[in-house]
Chain A
Amino acid sequence: GAGVSQSPRYKVAKRGQDVALRCDPISGHVSLFWYQQALGQGPEFLTYFQNEAQLDKSGLPSDRFFAERPEGSVSTLKIQRTQQEDSAVYLCASSSLDRVQFFGPGTRLTVL
């Protein structure tokens, strides 16, 4: 597609449930980033992929968070045993060699 897409756009989970968030980057973009964003704040880095390799996962807040990009295209961010503090907007961005990042619309996760 022409841009980065994310699904679902909204997700409501009960505390303790597992969730999976999907990102379809711009075709051909080597780099893929996941961010967490609180209301009215800038994005907070979670993890970075170059093709299928996860080169940096230093921003993942706990071992309940896991991301993968097995074929170097679509990526999935999985959160196990969700907690209320996981409620946020999760943004995906992709970029090519010029490092300009293009963002998807985000997934708003609400944990009840």
Chain B
Amino acid sequence: TQLLEQSPQFLSIQEGENLTVYCNSSSVFSSLQWYRQEPGEGPVLLVTVVTGGEVKKLKRLTFQFGDARKDSSLHITAAQPGDTGLYLCAGALDSNYQLIWGAGTKLIIKP
């Protein structure tokens, strides 16, 4: 069974704090995608990482793909209430058209 473990499942912090969300697996992914979903909407793609060790920055969000392409992290600096949402990671395997999904991290940023 291919699993993508995402942690933490829930995080509630104050505006201005930093946070990191992790996705870990024993499988090697050809790419990994991060999505953010707001209530009543579908997941919106934030970034795709492809190369082991790759780091991508999107304003205050920093995404990292592990050297072995088995894990990834999302770091948010100086979180704002607008960052509130469900963050999902999903890994693509060479051998399968399906994405392997993490269970999601529900993030609440309190003003």
* Residues from 6 to 55 in A contacting B, C-beta threshold 8 Å: 6, 31, 40-43, 45, 48, 50, 55
Q: Which of chain B's residues have a CB closer than 8 A to the CB of A40? A: 86, 104, 106
B108 to chain A, nearest CB (A): 11
Q: Which of chain B's residues have a CB closer than 8 A to the CB of A50? A: 97
- The docked-state distance in angstroms from the alpha carbon of A91 to that of B86 is 15
**0/1 per residue, A49-81, Cβ < 8 Å to B?**
010000110000000000000000000000000
CB atoms of A43 and B101 under 8 A apart: yes
Task: Give the bracket for the number of chain B residues in contact with chain A.
Answer: 20 to 34
* Residues from 95 to 111 in B contacting A, C-beta threshold 8 Å: 97-99, 101-104, 106
B103 interface neighbour in A6, A42, A101, A108, Cβ under 8 Å? A42
* Residues from 18 to 47 in B contacting A, C-beta threshold 8 Å: 31, 33, 35, 40-45
A75 to chain B, nearest CB (A): 15
- The docked-state distance in angstroms from the alpha carbon of A105 to that of B44 is 9
Residue numbers of A with Cβ under 8 A of B are 4, 6, 31, 40-43, 45, 48, 50, 55-56, 91, 93, 99-106, 108
- The docked-state distance in angstroms from the alpha carbon of A103 to that of B98 is 14
Q: Which of chain A's residues have a CB closer than 8 A to the CB of B48? A: 100
CB atoms of A42 and B42 under 8 A apart: no
Q: Which of chain A's residues have a CB closer than 8 A to the CB of B13? A: none
**0/1 per residue, B63-102, Cβ < 8 Å to A?**
0000000000000000000000010101010000111011
Among all A-B residue pairs, the 10 with the closest Cβ atoms: A103-B42, A42-B101, A42-B104, A103-B43, A105-B42, A106-B42, A42-B103, A99-B92, A104-B42, A105-B41
